Amino acid sequence: MITGALLVQALISGLLMGGIYALVALALALSFGVLRVLNFAHGDLLMMAMYGAVVLHRWLGLHPYWAIVVLALPMLALGWLMFVGLIRPVQHAGVLVQAQMTLGVSFVLQSAALMIFGADLLNVRTEMEMAVLRIEGVVVSVPLAIGFAVSLLISGALSWVLLGTDAGRRVRATAQDPDMARLCGVDVERTQRWVFALSVALLAGVAGCLMTFSHVVPTAGLQYSVLALLVVMLGGLGDLKGAFIGGLLIGIAEALAGVFLNSAVGPAVIYVLFGLTLLFRPQGLFGRGMEA
């Protein structure tokens, strides 16, 4: 029987998990909005950061939240190098070439993780892992709640940068019309390079949050890539607000499906939601171009 408490439980867990999905998708939406290159290795870059959090914990005893700080810079550098070495050369090639390139990176990262870390599930055990808040019979996972807060914080900071700074204006100008931005004196390539590097660095934040309660395996990236693509397309390609709300919607839909449906039908709900959105709003829920 489905009780009110169970429904509220599902809504809250879904919303919190959705916050983390939103952050994964936000990073992808940001890079797509500015570069117009769909990065299929997005989830695998996240997987690498998750392994980074595990390594930092095992070698230095660092809590995953501290790992965010430590990993941000190497991830930024990785994003920078990836843009210069792999993305830039195919940026003006066809969509299929771009897809092949980023899919290739995805396979390479997966294989590298399998070779280095093996297929075992790796996790980080912390005291906070099982911490919960009990409110009127509803259990709120503390790591999920913190993940949600981090997601809000990063999204807010990103919005502020994009709306309230010169750098943000350059990014928005590049996203709206690169040629016009160039004519106005914006160094488009430099902007794109920084945006891509930043979108990869943001994954350090997601990895730190995820590793407080989840685990990592070499194939974890694929799941997150698919999820991020769904969320980004649901919200409207390149639309940051859409990506954030799309993430929350997917999280809630997933949790509610667990309550109302049994068996294999549950995970299909998000694809049904996605299909219906594409059918009635092919541009996505908020697809009006790049907006902060």
> How near is the Cβ of 46 to another protein at its closest, in Å?
13
> How near is the Cβ of 123 to another protein at its closest, in Å?
6
Tell me the site size for another protein, rule CB under 8 A: 39
The DSSP code for 86 is I
Write down the residue that tokens 């219906």 correspond to. Answer: 276
Residues 125-144 that bind another protein (CB under 8 A): 125, 129-130, 132, 139, 141
Residue 183 binds another protein (CB under 8 A): no
Q: What size, in residues, is the chain? A: 292
Stretch that binds another protein, among 67-75, 117-125, 188-196, 278-286 (CB under 8 A): 117-125
Q: Which CB, 159 or 219, lies closer to another protein?
A: 219
CA-CA distance, 103 to 40, in Å (whole number)?
5
Beta-carbon-side half-sphere exposure of residue 189 (alpha carbons within 13 Å): 7
Beta-carbon-side half-sphere exposure of residue 225 (alpha carbons within 13 Å): 23
The helix (H) or strand (E) run that includes residue 17 is helix 4-35
CA-CA distance, 268 to 11, in Å (whole number)?
18
Q: Which CB, 2 or 183, lies closer to another protein?
A: 2
Tokens for 46? 């996240």
Among residues 59, 61, 85, 119, which is the contact residue for another protein, using CB under 8 A?
119
> How near is the Cβ of 126 to another protein at its closest, in Å?
11
Among residues 74, 168, 266, 289, which is the contact residue for another protein, using CB under 8 A?
266
Which candidate, 265, 180, 200, places its Cα nearest to that of 30? 200
CA-CA distance, 38 to 12, in Å (whole number)?
31
Among residues 59, 94, 185, 263, which is the contact residue for another protein, using CB under 8 A?
263
In 10-145, the DSSP E strands lie at: 122-123, 132-135, 138-141
Residues 211-230 that bind another protein (CB under 8 A): 213-215, 217-219, 223
Query: Who's near 246: CB < 8 A, 6+ residues apart?
Result: 22, 25, 230, 231, 232, 234, 235, 284, 285
Residue 255 binds another protein (CB under 8 A): yes
Per-residue x/- mask for another protein, residues 66 to 105, rule CB under 8 A?
----------------------------------------
> How near is the Cβ of 131 to another protein at its closest, in Å?
8
CA-CA distance, 32 to 10, in Å (whole number)?
31
Contact set with another protein (CB under 8 A): 1, 3, 5-6, 9-10, 13-14, 17, 110-111, 114, 118-121, 123, 125, 129-130, 132, 139, 141, 213-215, 217-219, 223, 254-255, 258-259, 262-264, 266-267
